[in-house]
Structure 1
């Protein structure tokens, strides 16, 4: 039997295979010819541009798509040369000749990243990027009269106009010394910190030495990028001492949580690697303009190469704020908590008409200026003429929406904003002032030392997030007491300076036997009067004429001390602060009670006799090498004493400055002598 012809489909397949084989032979021949041409051109003195065109022409069919974004049929070349996606390929011959091949187009070219290559002026631009060296000395929030051992850090920064340098605020947090070094230089220059923006995580530095600024062009800022725009991050991350350059694209632009300052501001997410040391470095677009500052990254087992940069609008706000006010005043807030109104039944119940859109106001901060115009269960329809949607977003750019808090963050402190509200079905317009937020438990103390006050071994300090982190570690939001976390997350300050005053710990002594285990409990009242904060204005003082001081603490605890040992500042309705106006010897004038009564949270109480408290305080301070019974910022502290002495000197009081200085020196010397005695005995008095 003779061989029969294959079926039509097999014939077609055989024809395709034959055509494919011919095409592969043709492509192979073309590639071989291109390689020969490249080698010949490279060895000829006429120049080396020929290989680029020859090899590029051979590889061009392997790319799919055209400039219009229409998909074209894919063709086969040599084995292994088929590519899908990517931003283009540089031929081997062109690479050997140090000539970059042109990127090949691909489907959806209109949505592909722009040219990732740095510009021809990249060397000039990178000259403005500096390495920042900082020595940090953080306070010991658990022992607030001390500081921790100093440590050093390296980060990045860059020069801008006006002989200024920008970096991250967390790079110079609690700094004692800052130095900067230019690229390729072996000299470090001492820098001074002009402003620190805690919320936006930006710091501004300057260098007085003129030599530092010679021959450098400052960085120029660009506009907010588009999605998938190329971005190049320059800095000095870990892994080496020289400058590092990483590239990526813009992945997302939205209101982002800033970890350092716990603020919600506009942020840019990129897929370029941002590592420790990159912080403060600039991010450039393909035109060599700065579009942001690297500041944080997402570390998660399910996430890779997710970094964040501070965008130009936030940077501009920081710089303009500094130039307007001579310092950083912060980003204002509206001072309201709101809820989405996406449920149609809820909108109907709230008397919203079909064309109405907005968000429901849940609470208004008592300290916010908006408190006078906005009430709970009002409906916020628009902010400064921009309508707010039911999900709390506003138009951002073409095809994009963003949280309306972005509009608030674009304003400056004490600026006015126009709100359109729906109150019980009626539209009203109100103009409100925007102020910096007031937190009952602040997330940051902005470089200041912590406040503290000690009497009879009882250590009082305000609750702050740094203090909670010091006491309970990085997982403080899980490990801290529930009541404290509730105040942190849900409570609002009723007065501008209101604080949660804690009985932090008790320095064990005979006078406070039985109270040693009390720690981190809120002080509710002192002698029956509510405690609001650690400080008080002199204009609000009222002397205590009772024999005892009764401190009501949280958990219904109580502390009582003889009032002869202290002088406390009062207002008629509330205790405005736990403070002392003079040294211990003169604190008996205002109070005559026999006991000090501390009422604590959870209905705890502490009661101390006046005479014992008076006699024991200085001895306890000396035992623990504590130079003062209060922090310098409190009335009666070193700073307050210096201010009073300066005022007295200005008024012509003879010898007042010297007397104040001598008194402070004597107290410090006495404490130092006690510490030396204890050091000689070989005993340690430190207790945690």
Structure 2
């Protein structure tokens, strides 16, 4: 069962071209229907009848098709798993005829510096299968543009272009040593691949249903200055980094302390510049030891506390985002929003919102479980919101005298209000007073802006039947239109052939 192994790089039936259809949501106007986008990318077959590609190629898809190199048939594929942090996704194909033709690749080891590699995929410049060659230039913790996180990355000299994303980088034994995922826009022939050990980590996450990469999100300071080391009582032979702050919701909050000097992580000494020396990588940021572990793993911290050395055991249960308020970037997911009294549009701050809106917020540490940053997206101008236009972008602290930390708490504070007006207070001390309106009155205001719902589906507190009844009672004369699927028809955007996204000079391919 599928199960042929590719014997050489000329045996192309492990290489897969991926055709993705996805929904794009506008977080600046969260009530709008999504548009449809299309692009292509690359992938490859591994043992177990699975296809590997990038998360930014298939992770937010509504429909995916795959086509083997030198084949003319597109097969429907199913998204089995995705991890946006490491920019990897896994696909399945149910059609048995696909696997009768496919050949799998074995996953090797993370390559060493100057090792030769061959990149396989379907980049722009033609429709067919393409192979480029190069060498590994650098191995270090680096920025993943799609996941917006720091993970181990491998820089390569092989020419890679948009459309190469998700393609296999193989060694001379035809084993996968990396997955192509991005390039540097400020240079020539500077491409990056996700190394084999991150790919193995992802596959193990899928197998054990333990998704994510541990991260402690500590604020640390390097100890490169000898006078600073003397202040903390470090001996001549000792090296390390000092903890400046720990997030309140961190798993190490009651174990590590501010001003602890981290000397060792497990058996690895920490250098004064925050790196550790490893046999396979030589020198890498200390956070690699943490995020290369599995969620729930135990790590031993050797620290210098008030001049005394002690060992602290920590279970690594935090992820990159578990201790901070800003919502990670989502793909193919509708935005969460609530419109108070047909006038005030409120959203939680997410990386999607920041990008679409063009505003920037500090990613604060959580003080409460599931805490979010709630902001006024916009004021729908009407007779009740007049004069509040300049308050768009304000962070909300309380609604009707109740502190709100999540969108669910905000909706509850609105729906349970028994007063004549809603009172919204912002972090900067501003106040908005909006009359409490009935569903029918609020819907009248929303119809002026062609807005169908006063909140996103994840926040609905009244049934669709109740809303429909209220509208009919008020002689709502717009014709009711139903389809067999119950879904509204979506506008179609201009289709694209490749996925191209930019972040801090790095571009997903």
TM-score greater than 0.5 by the shorter chain: yes
Q: Distance in 1 between matches of 2:7 and 2:100?
A: 21
Query: 1:310 aligned to 2:310?
Result: no
CA 1:214–1:330: 2 relative to 1, 3 Å: same
> How is 1:210-225 mapped onto 2 (pairs within 5 angstroms)?
210-225=96-111
Q: Secondary structure at the match of 2:395?
A: strand
Residue among 284, 287, 302 paired with 1:405? 287
Higher RCO by CA contacts (8 Å cutoff, separation 6 or greater): 2
Q: Distance in 2 between matches of 1:244 and 1:672?
A: 62
Query: 1:275 aligned to 2:161?
Result: yes
Query: 1:204 aligned to 2:90?
Result: yes
TM-score (normalised: structure 1): 0.65
Q: Secondary structure at the match of 1:504?
A: strand
Q: Distance in 1 between matches of 2:98 and 2:129?
A: 18
Corresponding residue for residue 624 of structure 1: 449
Residue among 174, 181, 195 paired with 2:60? 174
- Quote how far apart the aligned CAs of 1:335 are: 2.9
CA 1:671–1:250: 2 relative to 1, 3 Å: farther
Query: 1:235 aligned to 2:118?
Result: no
Q: Distance in 1 between matches of 2:329 and 2:464?
A: 32
Q: Distance in 1 between matches of 2:429 and 2:466?
A: 40
Q: Secondary structure at the match of 1:190?
A: strand
Q: Which moved more, 1:384-393 or 1:195-204?
A: 384-393
CA 1:286–1:241: 2 relative to 1, 3 Å: same
Q: Distance in 2 between matches of 1:527 and 1:134?
A: 45
Q: Secondary structure at the match of 1:521?
A: coil
Q: Distance in 2 between matches of 1:252 and 1:666?
A: 64
Residue among 347, 353, 359 paired with 2:235? 353
Instruction: Give the structure with higher Rg (CA).
Output: 1
Q: Secondary structure at the match of 1:411?
A: coil
Number of aligned residue pairs: 471
Query: 1:245 aligned to 2:131?
Result: yes
- Quote how far apart the aligned CAs of 1:510 are: 1.7
What RMSD in Å do the two structures reach over aligned CA positions?
Answer: 2.4
CA 1:191–1:267: 2 relative to 1, 3 Å: same
- Quote how far apart the aligned CAs of 1:397 are: 2.2
- Residue by residue over 1:525-544, the C-alpha shift from the partner in whole angstroms, topping out at 9 and shown as x without a partner, is 22333221212xxxxxxxxx
Q: Secondary structure at the match of 1:137?
A: strand
Q: Which moved more, 1:406-415 or 1:521-530?
A: 521-530
CA 1:212–1:120: 2 relative to 1, 3 Å: closer
Residue among 366, 379, 399 paired with 1:493? 366
Query: 1:534 aligned to 2:407?
Result: yes
Query: 1:578 aligned to 2:410?
Result: yes
CA 1:225–1:237: 2 relative to 1, 3 Å: same
Query: 1:442 aligned to 2:274?
Result: no
Contact residue 625 and residue 674 of structure 1 kept, 8 A: no
- Quote how far apart the aligned CAs of 1:625 are: 3.4
Residue among 11, 29, 36 paired with 1:150? 36
- Quote how far apart the aligned CAs of 1:228 are: 0.9
| Runs of 5+ consecutive residues of structure 1 not aligned to the other structure | 1-118, 473-479, 536-576, 638-659, 678-688
Corresponding residue for residue 511 of structure 1: 384
Q: Which moved more, 1:429-438 or 1:511-520?
A: 511-520
TM-score (normalised: structure 2): 0.87
Query: 1:284 aligned to 2:170?
Result: yes
- Quote how far apart the aligned CAs of 1:399 are: 8.0
Query: 1:418 aligned to 2:313?
Result: no
Residue among 99, 122, 135 paired with 2:21? 135
Q: Secondary structure at the match of 2:296?
A: coil
Name the structure with the higher strand share: 2
